[in-house]
Structure 1
Amino acid sequence: MKELKLNHYRFSIAWPRIMPTGIKSDHVNEKGIKYYDELIDNLLENNITPIVTLYHWDLPQVLQEKYGGWQNISMVNYFNEFANLCFERFGNRVKYWITFNNPWSVAVEGYETGEHAPGLKLRGTGAYRAAHHMIKAHAKVWHTYDTQWRAKQNGLLGISLSGEWGEPVDLSNPKDIEAAERYVQFYMGWFATPIFHGDYPQVMKDFIGRKSTQQGLGMSRLPSFSTQEKSYIKGTCDFLGIGHFTTRYITQKNYPPGRGGSSYLTDRDVAELVDPRWPDPGSEWLYSVPWGFRRLLNFIKTQYGNPLIYVTENGVSEKMMCTELCDHWRIQYLKDYINEMLKAIRDGVNVRGYTAWSLLDKFEWDEGYTERFGLYYVDFRNKNKPRYPKASVQYYKRIISFNGFPNQREVENWKIRTIETCSSTNQLLAAEEKRSTAANVLRLIHDPLTSHMEMVTEIVVPTVCTLCILLSAVFLMFLLRRRH
C-alpha cells in the first residue's frame, strides 16, 4: 500500500472472527479484536485512512443454522450488536463505516439462485425477505451510530451498493426505456430508494404486486414497510458507496406469471443483452463499457438528491492460468472508467473518492482463484503466497500521485519500460515455477524414506487390510462349516 501511495484502504471486519457464534453474550474473540487493532494502527501510522465494511457476506454459521440467517428478523438486532461492538472498539480511529457491501448479491445469489452462501433457492420470496431485513438492519445500525457514537467519534456511516447500468436497446421505444429503468430500480434502487426516500421503488411494488395477484396470492411477495419503518429508514445514509463494473443493453420481455415459477429475475420483465464488440478479458459477466459509469452516476444524482458518493469497487479481472503481469487491458479499463467518472464530476455529481478493485488477487467466491482482479499478482501455489506488481500498479500509482492522468508522452515512455520490467519478471516467475516442479521431482528421487512412506500409505496399507478381511472371511466360513 505504501509503494502504491494509497491514501485510503477499504477492508471488512469478519463478524465470525469477532463473535464466533454471532452473539456477543456467547463469546467475544479478543484475538480477532487484536488483529484488527493492529491493522488499523498500521494503516494510520502510514497515513492510510481505514474505510471499514461491517458485512461482506460472512454470516456466523450458528446464526444461519439456528435462525435461518437473513430470512429471520432477529438478524437485525444481532447485526446491530456486532456493529455496536465495532464502534466501541475501533471507532476512535475509524471515521468511515459501511454497513453492507453489495446486499443485492447476498439476497439474490444467497437466497434466490443459491449460487453463493448459504446456497438457498427460495424462488420469488427469499431474496425479497433477506433484502427487507438487511435494509432494516442498516437503518438500525445507522441510528445506533448517530445517537451513541457520532458526537464523540465524528465519523460517517453509509452503505455500498452494486450498480450496473441498463441502457435501452431502442431509444425510440418507450417499452425499452421503461425496461432499462426497471432494471436499474430492481438492482440498485431496491436498496437505495428505501434508504433515501423511505420505501421501495414504485415499479417494484407494482410489478411484484401484480404478478403475486395473478398467481392467486392474497398479498404481494414483496414485503412492505410500516409508516413508522419508512420514517425510521429514510435518510439513514451519510454517503453512498458504489461498486460498478459493467453495463447491459435492456429490452422488454414479458414473463407470464407461474411459468417456471415466480422469481426475482422474471418479476422484472426484462432481457439483458451485450454488444459482442465490448471487450471482455476476464469474468464472463464483465464487459468494459465505460460510458455506462457516467450515466449511472448521473442517475444517482437525479434520483437521490446528489448524495456524497465514494466509488468503493471498480476494476476488471483476467481469467488466465499462466502468469500475466503485463495487464494492458486493466490499464485501459482504469483509464476509461476513471475518465468517465471525472466527466460525471464535471456534470456536478458529488463523487469524493475512488477505490480500484482489488489490491491483490484473491478468492473470487464461486470462481475460486481462477479469476484475478488484483493489481498485484499472488502466486497461490507457493505456500508463502508471494506478490508481484502487475503493470497496472505503476499506472494506478501515477494517477494517485497526480490526482489525475499523467501526460500522454510520459505514459508512452513509461509503458515501454513497464513492459520490459514486466516481461523480465514473468521470465523470473516462469523459471521459479520450473525450479519448483524440478524440486518436487528431486524430492521424490532423493528422499527414499518419503517415497517409501507414500507407497506404504497409498498401496501397501489398503492391500494388507483387504487381505486381512479376506482371510478373516475364509476362517469364519471354515469354523461355521465345522460346527455344522
Structure 2
Amino acid sequence: MVSDKFPVSGLLLLVLIAVGSPAMAAGPVCPKTKVLSGASFPDGFLFGTATASYQVEGAVDEGCRGPSMWDIYCRRFPDRCNNDNGDVAVDFYHRYKEDIRLMKRLNTNSFRLSIAWPRIFPHGRKEKGVNKIGVKFYHDLIDELLANDITPLVTVFHWDIPQDIEDEYGGFLSERIVKDFTEYADFLFNEYGDKVKNWMTFNEPWVFSRAGYDTGKKAPGRCSKYVSDKCQEGRSGYEAYIVSHNLLLAHAEAVQSFRNCQKCKGGKIGIAHSPAWFEPHDLADAQAGASVERVLDFIMGWHLDPTTFGDYPQIMKDVVGSRLPNFTDEQKNKLKNSADFVGINYYFSYFSNHKVKVDPSRPSWQSDSLSEFETKSAQGYNIGNKPLTAVMAVYSKGLRKLLKYIKDKYNNPEIIIAENGYGEILGDKDGDLGVALADENRKYYLQRHLLNLHEAICVDKVNVTGYFVWSLLDNFEWQDGYKTRYGLYYIDFKNNLTRHEKESAKWYSDFLKKQTNPSPVKSEL
C-alpha cells in the first residue's frame, strides 16, 4: 500500500487534544469541542466538495452543447492532455443524481460546481441561440442539490470558453469578451439567481492567464518560442496581462449586473484565486522578505488588489511598466470592492528565491516577478513533506499563514476556501483498488489542513465561512489528463466509470457527523 512507504509517525494522528477557543466579539464564534470535527467550526459554516464542468461532465457532443476551447485544444494536441482513456469522461452529466447521493454520504452541506458556457450559449452569444437542453440540465442539477439540502456555489467561468468566440476574436485577448461575458453572466444570474445565492465569476485567473498565455501549458497553449518550443504562437510577458485585464473588466461588469439582478437579492459573489504561500529561500538574503511580498502581489494581488482597492499592485506597475494595461478612473471605481468575498484555492507552498538577473528581451510573468519557486531552502530544508506518489509537497501551515496575510492586507474580508486537496499519481498501481482506495496520505492532508484552517478561524480570527475539498471525484486534471487523482471517490475508467469510496471519503464523512468522534489531530502539525 502507498502509505507503507512513509514513516508511521507522519501518518498516525493519535493525540487527543482540546480544540476551540473562547469566542471574541471581534471574530468568528467557535464552539468548544473535545476533538476537531465539523462541529468545531462556526455555526452555518459551509463544508463541501468541488468539481468543474469540463473536468467531470463529459457528454461533449450531447444535448446541443457547442465546442469548448479545451475540446479543440485536446484534439489538436492530445499529448498535452495526457488522456490515456481516450474520450472516456467522468460523466457527471448523466450521473449527477448518483453523485449527489455520494455528497449526502459525505454529510456535506454545500457543493461547488461550474456552468459550462458552451452548454448554455453553444456559439458564444445569446443572439446565436440559447440551448434549452443545457439550461434545463442545470436547473435539474440545482433542484436536486436543493432537494438534498445541499447549497450550490456556482462558478460562472471555469475555463471552458466557447470555441466560436475563440475563433472569432481570440477570446480574452480582445476587450470584446467583456460584453459577451457580461451577457452570459447576466443570463445565468436571471435564470438561476432565485435558487443560487453563492457565485464566483472566475476560477483561478492567475492560472488561466499565465498557463494559457505565458507558459503555454494550458489551453489555448500560447507563449513565445523562448519559453517553449511547443507553442505555435503567442507573446509571453504581454498576452497574460492583456487577458487578465479583460478578465477583470468582465468581472466588474458582471458584478454590476449581479447587483442589479432582482432574483439575486441576498446573494454574494467573488472570484476564486489560486495563490501558493511562500517562505523566504535564504534568510541571509536582504531581499528575502521583499521577495515573498513581491511574488504574492504578482500571484494574488494581480487580481485581488483591483477587486479590493481598484488598481494593480504598485510593484507590478513598476516592474511590468507599459506592458501592463491601465484602468480608467471609471473602471477603477467599478472594480473597487467588486467582490463580496475572497475565494481561495490552496494546495501547496514554495520558497521564494530572489532572481537577480533578468533578460529584458525575453519577458515573462516569472521573470517579471523577479523570483524562482524552490522546493528547498538555501540551507537544504524541504517545504513540507512529499510522499512518493504525491503531486506536490504537503505544507498545511501555509494555509493558515496565507489566510492571516489576506486578513491583514485586504481589510479582513470574508474568505471561502473554494478548493483544497491532495493529488497523487499511482502509476502502474492505478488500477489496483487495494492501493487506490487506501489513500491514507489524502486523509492525512485533509486532517492537517482542517486543523490549520480551524486555528486560522478560531485563533487568528480570520473570517472564513466555507471549505470545499477538491475533488468529489477523480476527474480530468487538464494537462495531467486522468493520471492524476484528486477525488474522494475513485473512478474506475476501465469498468463502467464505477465510483468507489476511498478512505479519505470515509474520514471526511465522519468528520462532518456532529455526534461522532473522528480521529483527533495534533495541535502542532
- The TM-score with structure 1 as length reference comes to 0.79
The answer for the alignment partner of 1:214 in structure 2 is none
Q: Deviations over 1:410-453 (max 9, x none)?
A: xxxxxxxxxxxxxxxxxxxxxxxxxxxxxxxxxxxxxxxxxxxx
Return the match for 1:90 from 192, 195, 214. 192
Match for 2:437: what amino acid? L
Q: Does 1:304 find its partner at 2:378?
A: no
Give the fraction of aligned pairs with identical amino acids, expressed as a percent.
40
1:187–1:404: structure 2 CA closer, same or farther, 3 Å change rule?
farther
Q: Does 1:325 find its partner at 2:450?
A: no
The answer for the alignment partner of 2:182 in structure 1 is 80
Indicate the larger mover: 351-360 or 267-276: 267-276
Q: Deviations over 1:273-324 (max 9, x none)?
A: 1137433347876210111111100110011101011100001111013231
Match for 2:439: what amino acid? D
Do 1:107 and 1:128's aligned partners in 2 also have CA atoms closer than 8 Å? yes
The SS at the match of 1:158 is strand
The SS at the match of 2:418 is strand
The answer for the alignment partner of 1:393 in structure 2 is 505
Instruction: Quote how far apart the aligned CAs of 1:407 are.
Output: 4.9
Do 1:283 and 1:371's aligned partners in 2 also have CA atoms closer than 8 Å? no
Q: Deviations over 1:55-90 (max 9, x none)?
A: 000000011111111000011110110111111111
Number of equivalent positions: 396
Q: Does 1:381 find its partner at 2:494?
A: yes
Indicate the larger mover: 369-378 or 226-235: 226-235
1:320–1:285: structure 2 CA closer, same or farther, 3 Å change rule?
closer
How do 1:71-470 and structure 2 match up within 5 A? Answer: 71-121=173-223, 122-149=235-262, 153-171=265-283, 173-209=285-321, 220-258=322-360, 261-275=362-376, 277=382, 278-281=384-387, 286-321=392-427, 322=429, 323=432, 324-345=436-457, 346-382=459-495, 384-402=496-514, 406-408=518-520
The separation in 1 between residues aligned to 2:482 and 2:240, in whole angstroms, is 27
Instruction: Quote how far apart the aligned CAs of 1:255 are.
Output: 3.1
Higher relative contact order (CA 8 A, sep 6+): 2
Instruction: Quote how far apart the aligned CAs of 1:254 are.
Output: 1.8
The separation in 2 between residues aligned to 1:124 and 1:283, in whole angstroms, is 33
Do 1:282 and 1:371's aligned partners in 2 also have CA atoms closer than 8 Å? no
- The TM-score with structure 2 as length reference comes to 0.73
The SS at the match of 1:204 is helix
Question: CA RMSD of the aligned region, Å?
Answer: 1.7
Larger helix share, 1 or 2 = 1
Instruction: Quote how far apart the aligned CAs of 1:404 are.
Output: 10
Structure 2 unmatched ranges of 5 or more = 1-102, 224-234
The SS at the match of 1:190 is helix
Instruction: Quote how far apart the aligned CAs of 1:401 are.
Output: 1.7
Match for 2:504: what amino acid? S
Do 2:391 and 2:423's aligned partners in 1 also have CA atoms closer than 8 Å? no
The separation in 2 between residues aligned to 1:180 and 1:19, in whole angstroms, is 42
The separation in 2 between residues aligned to 1:405 and 1:167, in whole angstroms, is 35
1:404–1:75: structure 2 CA closer, same or farther, 3 Å change rule?
farther
Match for 1:349: what amino acid? V
Do 2:366 and 2:372's aligned partners in 1 also have CA atoms closer than 8 Å? no
Do 1:281 and 1:317's aligned partners in 2 also have CA atoms closer than 8 Å? no
Do 1:7 and 1:48's aligned partners in 2 also have CA atoms closer than 8 Å? yes
The separation in 1 between residues aligned to 2:396 and 2:165, in whole angstroms, is 40
1:318–1:284: structure 2 CA closer, same or farther, 3 Å change rule?
closer
1:282–1:86: structure 2 CA closer, same or farther, 3 Å change rule?
farther
Q: Deviations over 1:218-244 (max 9, x none)?
A: xx1011111221111100011111000
The separation in 2 between residues aligned to 1:143 and 1:325, in whole angstroms, is 45
Structure 1 unmatched ranges of 5 or more = 210-219, 410-484
Return the match for 2:136 from 25, 34, 37. 34
Do 1:255 and 1:267's aligned partners in 2 also have CA atoms closer than 8 Å? no
Match for 2:191: what amino acid? R
Do 1:112 and 1:123's aligned partners in 2 also have CA atoms closer than 8 Å? yes
